[in-house]
Structure 1
Amino acid sequence: MTEKHHIGVYTPQDRYEMWKQEADELGMSMSQWANAMVEAGLKKFDRDIQPEESKSDLRKRNTQLWNDYEKVRKERDKLETQLHQTERRAIVEFVEENQGCRYKEIAQHLAKNRGSRLTKLLDALDGEEIEIDEEGRVNRL
């Protein structure tokens, strides 16, 4: 049987309460908890952390990600503008054909005819940024 020895520690009350709370949460006595924490502290670990990438590599990667972000943001803005123009055109055409119509009628018309507007938008993009093949598959150029 292993011989055991007593070790006492004097610590401020607030620290003792914190340790006691942690020991209780782990279902340990203060003695078990203190022993476990000392053993954990004695484990060998390397304090020198080697980065996976150099600062130069990180800067290059950051620049590339920023450029990609800007490209996607510009593309999104362009598509958003095209969508708004298409939606706007659909509303204006409906109002011209249905003078005095109500908001609800416009909303119903937009919901009912969304597919045809999508077709118009895809046709506008065809050859410019996307390509639609003979089988109707859409691909980015």
Structure 2
Amino acid sequence: MSEFIESMVEAGLKKFEPTVNPDTTKQEVREQRNELKAELDRTRGRIQELEDIVYQGERQIIKRYVQNNPGATYDEIIQHLIDTVPQRVTSHLDDLEGDTIQRTENGYYPIETERE
């Protein structure tokens, strides 16, 4: 306790300014905010691109069906999607098998990843 009092007395005897200068100016903070906002906008754009890629398959199937069947009704498009689901599921399962899922005699199971 006495060392603390001694250091505080020394600090009081020294002439120093009690004001604190900020590390960054308001202009620098604004520039950082603008850079982060631009990065956020780029990231959102990239997310949109990736979502479009993911949904492109379904959209492509609908687009091809309508091109091959002009004047198709909503119900016909839905029926076409329902009819082609087994093909698409098989394709997706083939793509995933070995990476994230495994097929056994009893069905499909997730591949266990080692936890550290």
Q: So what's the TM-score if we normalise by structure 2?
A: 0.45
> Which has more radius of gyration?
1
Higher relative contact order (CA 8 A, sep 6+): 1
Q: TM-score, normalised by structure 1?
A: 0.39
